[in-house]
Amino acid sequence: MMLLAMPSSRALQSIISLAARTFSTYPHRHRPYQMPSAIIQPTAAHTATVIFAHGLGDEGASWRAAISGDYDYRKPGELTIPARLPHVKWIFPDAPEQAVTANFGTEMPSWFDMSNLPLPPELYLSKVVDDDESVKNGVQIIDDLVQAEVKAGIPESRIVVGGFSQGGALALAAGLGGKDWRTKSSGDDNKLAGVVVLSGWMPVREKFKSRISPHAKSMPVLWGHGTADAVIYHKVGEISVELLQDQPGIVKHGAHDQLGAPGINFRSYERMGHASCKKEMDDLVTFLGSVVPQQQT
């Protein structure tokens, strides 16, 4: 299996083995700031947008490189992901620098504060890992990007939010959350086209389900996770999906079900660690082709 090494280029490895310290909070509900973003422009008529959030300690440019094909994951003659989805604009925002408790309070690119890495299942089920207030701040950043695309003429129903690791957790909150999280949406109860969670988890586990929007049961979700993930354990992904299934109407699909159908399609990638792989990227393209297909103009 060919892997795309997606953990941070900026010191993520240094925090994997750190123990938890005193839990801290991000001080402001939401502070506007001009966020730098790496972008892949569409090569055909722009009719859909994907907003994809990187993992802890990383930057948007890393995922732009992966999606653009800078990593050698293609077969000879195979098109890049942007070429297969020429109508899609990709936005890879950079997280703000903020103190991270799991890194002894050191500032680093982070969507929200969290107390622990790695994240094994027993810890996920027994402790509050994510700081609620800073998760809200991170979701507002994504919502700002969504609303900018809406103002540019792309409806929310043609926008997908996704992310890797911490970015995947953020995307889940932004995509399935109601107005308690996405306060600026003017669409059909915050209904986006779909959500992509790669090697992520359900954040603020004890509060998440109370904030789920009514549209969550009809939201297509692609959830990919490596079975050998030693950072965000594969079992944590499975538990997250099981907890979401407790909500009436949220369906979990199997690996052989259609990508892009309403509900959560959880896909396991054998022997894959905290990274991505060609099969996962192919599944991503299939999913996007289903939820935001190219429109005839």
Number of domains comprising the chain: 1
Catalytic residues: 165, 229, 274
pLDDT band at 140, cuts 50/70/90? very high
Q: Which CATH number covers residue 19?
A: 3.40.50.1820
Is 43's pLDDT higher than 80? yes
Structural domain boundaries, residue 51: 3-291
| Mean pLDDT of the region 131-156 | 95
- Evaluate whether residue 227 is within a structural domain: yes
Residue 22 has pLDDT above 90, yes or no: no
Over residues 282-291, the mean pLDDT reads 97
For residue 181, being part of any structural domain is answered with yes
Q: Could you give the count of Cα atoms lying within 13 Å of 101 in the half-sphere of its Cβ? A: 17
Indicate whether 297 belongs to any domain: no
User: Is there a domain that residue 207 lies in?
Assistant: yes
Residue 222 lies in a domain: yes
Residues 6+ apart with CB under 8 A from 130: 112, 113, 114, 115, 169, 203, 204, 205
Token couple for 132? 């609620």
| 278 part of a folded domain | yes
- Asked, for residue 55, whether it belongs to a domain, the answer is yes
Q: Determine, yes or no, domain membership for 177.
A: yes
